[in-house]
Amino acid sequence: MEKLSCAQKHVRAKAIIAVAALVLASLAPAIAQTNAEATTYPERAIRIIVPFAPGGASDIAARVVGEKLAQAVGQPVVIDNRPGAGGNIAAQVALQAKPDGYTILVVADAGRVKGLYEMLSYNLVEDFTPVALATVSPMMVVVHPDLPVKSVSELLTYAKRERVLFGSGGIGSSTQIAGLLFNALGHVRLEEVPYKSIPPAVPDLLAGRLGVAFLPVQLAAPLVSGGQLRALAVTSGSRLSTWPDLPTVAEAGLPGYEHYTWAGFVVRVATPEAIVNKLSAEIVRALNMPDVREKLTLQGAMVAAGPPDEFANVIDKDFKKQKMLVEQLGVGSR
């Protein structure tokens, strides 16, 4: 190794400092501009793109949060519903916007990977930056009353000897993932019948053309209370306070099972960090307001109000779960 004299070391250190100073000087205008943008942000209306039709849980979350956000920042917040193609349409619209914080995308159960959802035209991790986790919602495992099972363990036994159809919201949907995980962990084969979304599957379930479905609690609860469907369990890690007598799937016969549907807000990658943090703080603050919590709870959602790093962990966990389904079970669109 070359040995340097004190003088040479001094010269090298000065050179390094000089280069660093030049780099910082070149970055200074951009840093100053970014800081200025963050200080004045927002100066015009903010758009929240929702990948679903009006009226759903994610749309309601976007609207109640958008209302509070508008009040906090003093600018209009416009809700732009762009349903279709499994969220691809909304994502493409968001990707065409500048990374300046004026376009926010709602993502729900969108931690999708190639192989499970071949039509996917974006990468949630590479193309977007998490802003805030909004809600996490468990599902309810429900069956038609004529299906001769009254528990998860009975369903597992029955499905090993009889053909059982389960309805899903299609490739990549959380309702599909819930059923596929059930198959994987229970070593059974509930036969999937995919729909464009989960609501159209409900009439067939009520008519007995489907035997099982993994429905959002807000959709399943009134049908169970009315006796039209039988609830076997919830997919959460613990029992719900609103349904204390209903066991989790894990405690009812399938250890290790846990699955949620979730929703959150993201922006384009390269959006200034100061703007991301400002948006996150305001959205989390809005989600923690009592009236917002009440509205979302009535939709069957559990308010999470999580910062960017927490949301990133949820997305990462979903990616790993779905990669397992693709790689180990060979499921997905073909």
Give the pLDDT confidence of 26-82 residue by residue, as tens digits. 555 544 455 555 678 999 999 999 988 787 778 889 999 999 999 999 999 999 999
Identify whether the C-beta of residue 23 lies closer than 8 Å to the C-beta of residue 50. no
> Can you give the pLDDT at residue 318?
80
Give the single-character DSSP code of 190: P
Pairing of strands 230-234, 260-268: unpaired
Q: Is the pLDDT of residue 1 over 70?
A: no
Which residues are within 8 A (CB) of 83 and not within 5 positions of it... i.e. 6 or more apart? Answer: 50, 51, 52, 53, 89, 90
**What pTM value is reported for the model?**
0.75
The per-residue pLDDT for range 240-288, each reduced to its tens digit, is 888 999 999 999 999 999 998 889 999 999 999 999 999 999 999 999 9
> Can you give the pLDDT at residue 122?
79
In angstroms, the Cα distances linking 242 to 218, 234, 285, 298, 300 are 11, 11, 25, 11, 10
Q: For residue 214, which of 253, 175, 187, 163 has the smallest C-alpha distance?
A: 175
The domains spanning 43-137+260-329 and 138-234 adopt the same CATH topology:
yes
Residue with the bigger pLDDT between 271 and 330: it is 271
Alpha carbons 105 and 265: distance in angstroms, whole number: 6
- With respect to CATH, is domain 43-137+260-329 assigned 3.10.105.10? no
Count of other CB atoms within 10 angstroms of residue 208: 11
The domains of the chain are located at: 43-137+260-329, 138-234
CATH architecture of 138-234: 3-Layer(aba) Sandwich (3.40)
Q: Is the pLDDT of residue 334 over 60?
A: no
Identify whether the C-beta of residue 132 lies closer than 8 Å to the C-beta of residue 107. no
